[in-house]
Amino acid sequence: MTVDAEAQIAQKGPMMIYKIFRAQEWADLQAKGETLGAPIDIQDGYVHFSTAEQVKETAAKHFANETGLVLLACDADQFEADLKWEPSRGGALFPHLYRAFRITDVAWQCDLPLGPDGHEFPEDMA
């Protein structure tokens, strides 16, 4: 678990994890009610998520200069045993969902606009 995850657990608040979708991927989730994720998720066999600490790097690395993105927030606790924390970049643990991602999993969503210095995230993300 990351320091970010441990801090949220210590606060006894929900551990929010984040998924970035392109507009069409978000529209498909809304229309169908569930998805196996973006093409990279389907290829890897799980839905990639990021913590608040990781999501900006995820956007910069995998969505650089893309517009029309949507940020989805989910309470990690709701996924129970279907969520695994696995090493990725530089050994950091990332949350991976091993089941379909459902529209009912989404706590909130917002547009993720592209600004002059990269994507602009909500200031109150936790």
Question: Which tens digits make up the pLDDT trace of 97-119?
Answer: 999 999 999 999 999 999 999 99
Which residue do the tokens 């995850």 mark?
A: 5
Statement: residue 94 has pLDDT above 60: yes
CA-based end-to-end distance of the chain? 16
pLDDT at 8: 41
- Confidence label for 126 from pLDDT (cuts 50, 70 and 90): low
Q: Are strands 118-119 and 114-115 parallel, antiparallel or unpaired?
A: antiparallel
The per-residue pLDDT for 5 is 45
State whether residue 26 is helix, strand or coil. helix
Beta bridge partners of 19: 72
- Separation of alpha carbons 2 and 93, rounded Å: 6
Q: What pLDDT, on a 0 to 100 scale, did the predictor assign at position 125?
A: 77
Is residue 1 pLDDT above 50, yes or no? Answer: no
Above 80 in pLDDT, residue 14? no
CATH no., domain 3-111: 3.20.170.20
How many helices, marked H, and strands, marked E, lie in the chain?
4, 11
Q: What is the pTM for the complete model shown?
A: 0.87
pLDDT (0 to 100) of residue 44:
96
